[in-house]
Structure 1
Amino acid sequence: MKVAFLGLGVMGFPMAGHLAVRGGHEVTVYNRSAAKAQAWVEKYGNASAPTPAEAAGDADIVFACVGNDDDLRSVTTGPDGAFSGMRKGAIFVDHTTASADVARELYEAAGKLGLGFVDAPVSGGQAGAENGALGVMCGGDPDVYAKAEPVIAHYAKACQLMGPAGAGQLTKMVNQICIAGLVQGLSEGIHFARKAGLDLEKVMGVISKGAAQSWQMENRWKTMNEGKFDFGFAVDWMRKDLGICLATARHTGAQLPVTALVDQFYADVQVMGGKRWDTSSLVARLERKG
């Protein structure tokens, strides 16, 4: 296939690479910073384009992974946006973590142009993107999803259609709600073990084999214990995601007391200078407070 990929951040860069290397597709990339697009071309070959519209021109499927709702509107319906360059029948797959509202908005806009649209946020972090092992939760029409799923599979460990437009984004909100509580619980457990004078390696060796086990525990307890946070999913991005969750909860009537509390804990981490720290840095807040 001819495909395009818009947005070459820590997630998009390797995801687009998998489309070229694993998939063997003809890939044209676009990035707001042209230098990043050039770096991708130097690593993977293929081509870059100066605008989303030009990148999308001949593509069967256009993928995007950008920052937020406004960034997404910019690369789709904005000046030189991808929708203006896509041919009728082409599909737009959005991997941005954004609101369900913007997913529905762009689904409607795409439909009026004869385009398919799938909201497809991902979970698995930078490591998942690099290893081609992401979880992808999708919203959209079944026939459109069926065409996109085999291509998404080049960087996915699991991919599932969750329902109509917006359902993918709503599922990603569930993911972030669960992670927020898990990381805070793990942070408190590590902090408590230290204060109690326990050997943390032995503690984790035992409890990680029981009901307390989680991905966060397996992959983050060592770096949390060492105070290393200069990697992973940034606190700024987590607060953006939790803000979407809380706004949606107000609209739906869902109660998210723990999520709201953890969001404020992340605000404390930002004040500490941890805006770009990994989300596991919640433990640093506890250590600072003694």
Structure 2
Amino acid sequence: MSTRIAFIGLGVMGYPMAGHLQRAGYQVTVYNRTTAKAEQWVAEYGGERADTPRDAARGASFVMSCVGNDDDLRHVVLGDTGILAGAGPASVLVDHTTASAEVARELAAKAQEKGCHFIDAPVSGGQQGAEQGALTIMCGGDADAFERARPVQAHYARAVTLMGPSGAGQLTKMVNQICVGAVVQGLAEGMAFAENAGLDVQRVIDVISQGAASSWQMVNRHRTMIAGEYEHGFAVDWMRKDLDICLREGARNGSELPLTAMVNDFYRDVQALGGGRWDTSSLLRRLQQRREDTSTADHPGG
């Protein structure tokens, strides 16, 4: 393929996503804040490395980004060394960051001023989905630009859907995170209950995962939860950031999110345990720690 693509941000998601594009035959140029990570990517996949987002975007028909938050996104898109300083007319910017709907609309307007298109395209599926090329992508933006970018995204996604105008992708991702947080907390409570009741937790999951209680989290996370292994997956720090975005948007649009606020506080407790980089399924560890603390208080000195 002769199509040039820039990929900005090589974290646990962006690194394999950009790799899928290079292996599909696109000419991929990457930029990452940590140069060593970009050099590692080039050594593994080929392609090229740029010193700035502007340099990466030059000559690219599509510019993909996947960074940390609103401020990071503004930094790589705007300014003298940002994507828009290098992007040509009619290029399509596809942002996979989980950010606010507000920043998506802001950057879409800035891109339009330059004759470019901006698609907010947050993803679901985690690191595993990125590595396997099986992400779910929810998009907001111009329909024609979306159709142009969809075949490119298909190389690392199993579903790419236009949800509406700019910001709609981010709003849909907020719905996703609201639902995920509640499901993980429910799973953690159920597993803690089974453990406290003296049941074989694995056998319990084997049974209930065949019925109405089943979920992606149950099927894909119960074994590591039972083993107390959390050094993988979607980090608590990232989930806290996402749920903060949900709560701010909920306050703006009049949505009551009491469970989301509660789960967000529970993740704050996990951070206090030193689990900021643990997988979100570590809500179970919080419950186990609380039980241990209660037991110690009831029986001081053992």
TM-score range, shorter chain: over 0.9
Runs of 4+ in 1 over 2 A off after TM superposition: none
Deviations 1:33-79 (A, max 9, x none): 01000000000001000000000001000000000000000000133
In the TM superposition, 1:1-290 aligns within 5 A as: 1-21=3-23, 23-290=24-291
Gaps of 5+ in 1: none
Give the residue type in structure 2 aligned to 1:76. V
Query: What secondary structure sits across from 1:289 in the alignment?
Result: helix
> Whole-Å Cα distance in 2 between the matches of residues 58 and 180 of structure 1?
40
In our comparison, the structure showing a higher alpha carbon Rg is 2
Gaps of 5+ in 2: 292-302
> Whole-Å Cα distance in 2 between the matches of residues 285 and 46 of structure 1?
43
> Whole-Å Cα distance in 1 between the matches of residues 259 and 79 of structure 2?
37
State the number of aligned residues: 289
Task: Please give the root-mean-square deviation of Cα atoms over the aligned residues, in Å.
Answer: 0.5
Give the residue type in structure 2 aligned to 1:100. A
* 2:299 aligned partner: none
Give the residue type in structure 2 aligned to 1:123. S
> Whole-Å Cα distance in 2 between the matches of residues 64 and 198 of structure 1?
46
Give the residue type in structure 2 aligned to 1:6. I
> Whole-Å Cα distance in 1 between the matches of residues 97 and 79 of structure 2?
16
> Whole-Å Cα distance in 2 between the matches of residues 150 and 59 of structure 1?
16
> Whole-Å Cα distance in 2 between the matches of residues 287 and 117 of structure 1?
44
Query: What secondary structure sits across from 1:184 in the alignment?
Result: helix
> Whole-Å Cα distance in 1 between the matches of residues 188 and 111 of structure 2?
43
Q: TM-score, normalised by structure 2?
A: 0.95
> Whole-Å Cα distance in 2 between the matches of residues 6 and 83 of structure 1?
12
Give the residue type in structure 1 aligned to 2:16. P
Measured after TM superposition, the shift of residue 199 of structure 1 is: 1.0
Give the residue type in structure 1 aligned to 2:36. A
> Whole-Å Cα distance in 1 between the matches of residues 232 and 31 of structure 2?
24
